[in-house]
């Protein structure tokens, strides 16, 4: 049953990229005919020319139609390493990785392999595209609610809150790519945050696989041994945690669409519980306050 659903979902993604339905440039700030633009977008996705797709849109995210947001975020996913046309097949095949390790699952999907040379640079390069995707998805979702985005400690906050924060206000296809970008953004930001904590106390992570729960746990255990985890977390600035808060908000707002495909991800539930959203949104402060409990729990060292 899941295989049938996933095959259908993969087809829907390709159809939605082709521009069926409303013009993908409704609100996109481009006066080319939808037919001409659709042809360009289809070819660009097939050629994996994601820069071409991004160049077709303005940066006025709050004016994006769902279709424009879908294509823009899908292109950002591609820039981050995810093949939007073929990636869903990962969940269909018999050789997929164990989805109980959220980190390995998401990193496998964006092609970052364990123990890759300069893996932290590769993680950070991918992270910046998922961070931008979070801004797009959060801004468009807020616009659908009739709200305005303001910055609170660097984190995008919507003036209007959804009645149910786990029910996407975007269409299914757009919410799906947003949920994927939220997942990718969350794991890359957590890896980056753990790396920052390690750097602050002089832990050498060379040779440690920061793309898996096992590797992240190894660093957390070293921080715990030094007795520095909680105090070091409190040294993190708003700027160092804002991207994690933004990607958590993106994931939280669209999680139902991701779990329709992969099933319940218990580690995501734990994330939401530990970081404790305030009025439906994660903030820099809630992320900083939740990190110690989340990381010690991840490493199995809750006291």
Measured in whole angstroms, the distance separating CA 225 from the mean position of its chain's CA atoms is: 31
Q: What percent of the chain has pLDDT over 90?
A: 35
Residue 193 falls within a domain, yes or no? Answer: yes
Residue 108 falls within a domain, yes or no? Answer: yes
Other C-beta atoms within 10 Å of 20: how many? 11
Query: In this structure, what token pair is assigned to residue 6?
Result: 């996933």
Residue 179 falls within a domain, yes or no? Answer: yes
pTM score of the predicted model: 0.84
Spans of the chain below 50 pLDDT: 1-12, 14-15, 18-31, 94-98, 166, 301-303
Q: CA Rg, the chain, in Å?
A: 19
Residue 238 falls within a domain, yes or no? Answer: yes
Specify whether the backbone of 280 is left (phi greater than 0), alpha (psi in -120 to 50) or beta: left
Residue 156 falls within a domain, yes or no? Answer: yes
Give the domain range for residue 120: 2-298
Residue 67 falls within a domain, yes or no? Answer: yes
Residue 303 falls within a domain, yes or no? Answer: no
Other C-beta atoms within 10 Å of 225: how many? 11
> Distance between CA 46 and CA 49 in Å, rounded?
8
What is the structure's pLDDT at 199? Answer: 92
* Per-residue pLDDT tens digits for 53-100: 999 888 899 899 888 899 999 999 999 998 776 666 665 554 444 456
What is the structure's pLDDT at 188? Answer: 94
Domain count along the chain:
1
> Distance between CA 148 and CA 151 in Å, rounded?
10
């Amino acid at each position: 049953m899941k295989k049938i659903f996933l095959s259908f979902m993969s087809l829907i993604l390709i159809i939605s990229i082709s521009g069926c339905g409303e013009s993908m440039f409704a609100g996109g700030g481009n006066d080319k005919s939808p037919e001409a633009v659709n042809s360009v977008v289809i070819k660009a996705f097939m050629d994996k020319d994601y820069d071409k797709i991004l160049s077709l849109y303005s940066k006025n995210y709050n004016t994006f139609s769902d279709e424009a947001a879908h294509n823009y975020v899908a292109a950002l996913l591609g820039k981050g390493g995810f093949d939007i046309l073929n990636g869903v097949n990962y969940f269909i095949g018999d050789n997929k990785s164990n989805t109980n390790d959220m980190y390995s699952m998401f990193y496998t999907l964006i092609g970052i392999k364990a123990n890759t040379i300069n893996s932290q640079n590769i993680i950070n390069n991918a992270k910046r595209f998922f961070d931008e995707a979070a801004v797009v998805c959060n801004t468009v979702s807020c616009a659908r609610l009739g709200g305005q985005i303001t910055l609170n400690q660097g984190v995008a906050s919507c003036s209007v809150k959804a009645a149910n924060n786990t029910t996407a206000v975007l269409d299914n296809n757009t919410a799906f790519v947003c949920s994927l970008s939220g997942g990718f953004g969350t794991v890359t930001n957590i890896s980056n945050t753990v790396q920052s904590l390690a750097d602050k106390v002089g832990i050498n992570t060379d040779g440690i696989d920061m793309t898996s729960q096992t590797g992240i746990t190894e660093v957390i255990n070293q921080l715990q041994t030094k007795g520095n985890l909680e105090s070091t977390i409190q040294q993190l600035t708003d700027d160092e945690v804002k991207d994690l808060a933004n990607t958590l908000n993106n994931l939280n707002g669209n999680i139902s669409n991701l779990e329709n495909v992969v099933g319940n991800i218990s580690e995501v539930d734990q994330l939401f519980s530990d970081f404790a959203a305030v009025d439906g949104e994660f903030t820099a402060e809630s992320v900083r306050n939740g990190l110690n409990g989340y990381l010690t729990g991840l490493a199995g060292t809750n006291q």
